């Protein structure tokens, strides 16, 4: 065991350098399973998207849709639809490119909520973006059959973008 301090928490954790690859993968699976049991994640995939969906829904009082809902992830009490995209920036990958936005012209959602996490899963910044301004901020790419957007600080200068970083940090 070794003592680490990360994201403001101090805890004892196993020395992962002593574990085999198989043991590390088992720990990873156990952590993903526990996050799913706590309803933080909804799949056993990379937890970034699921965590963002849970965090946004919790912070904004939204109801998450089933994973099979087409084009949006959550709704509010008035039926307004939200698509949620996220990215975890790490020392090895500083890209702020969000996941592909499919069928933008179809109007499947009213707002896009985009979240950038730092490597310690803290919210670096987050935006609530009106659907009608997305064509100005995202570019269509035929090879992925959808729109690509980077959540850069310059996005926040658009009047159709609301900074919700503080709401998600609470």
Structural element, H or E, at residue 16? none
Reported pTM: 0.84
* Of residues 30, 49, 32, 55, the one with CA closest to residue 168: 55
So what's the pLDDT on residue 11?
72
So what's the pLDDT on residue 2?
61
Residue 149 contacts residue 115 (beta carbons within 8 Å)? no
Q: Is 98 helix (H, G, I), strand (E, B) or coil?
A: coil
Q: Is 103 left (phi over 0), alpha (psi -120 to 50) or beta?
A: left
Residue 63 contacts residue 72 (beta carbons within 8 Å)? no
CA atoms of 169 and 83, how far apart (whole Å): 19
CB burial string 36-48: b at 16+ within 10 A, e below: eeeebbbeeeebb
22 C-beta neighbours (distance < 10 Å), count: 8
CA atoms of 150 and 97, how far apart (whole Å): 4
The residue extents of the domains of the chain are 1-38, 46-169
Fold exhibited by the domain 46-169:
PvuII Endonuclease; Chain A (3.40.210)
Residues of the chain with pLDDT under 50: none
């Amino acid at each position: 065991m070794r003592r680490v301090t990360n994201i403001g928490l101090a805890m004892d954790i196993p020395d992962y350098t002593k574990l085999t690859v198989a043991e590390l993968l088992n720990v990873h699976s156990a952590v993903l399973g526990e996050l799913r049991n706590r309803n933080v994640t909804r799949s056993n995939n990379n937890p970034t998207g699921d965590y963002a969906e849970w965090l946004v829904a919790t912070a904004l009082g939204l109801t998450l849709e089933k994973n099979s809902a087409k084009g949006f992830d959550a709704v509010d009490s008035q039926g307004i639809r939200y698509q949620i995209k996220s990215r975890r920036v790490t020392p090895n990958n500083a890209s702020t490119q969000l996941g592909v936005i499919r069928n933008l012209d179809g109007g499947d959602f009213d707002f896009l909520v985009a979240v950038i996490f730092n490597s310690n899963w803290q919210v670096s910044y987050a935006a609530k973006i009106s659907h009608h301004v997305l064509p100005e901020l995202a570019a269509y790419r035929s090879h992925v059959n959808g729109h690509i957007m980077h959540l850069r600080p310059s996005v926040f200068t658009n009047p159709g973008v609301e900074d919700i970083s503080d709401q998600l940090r609470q």
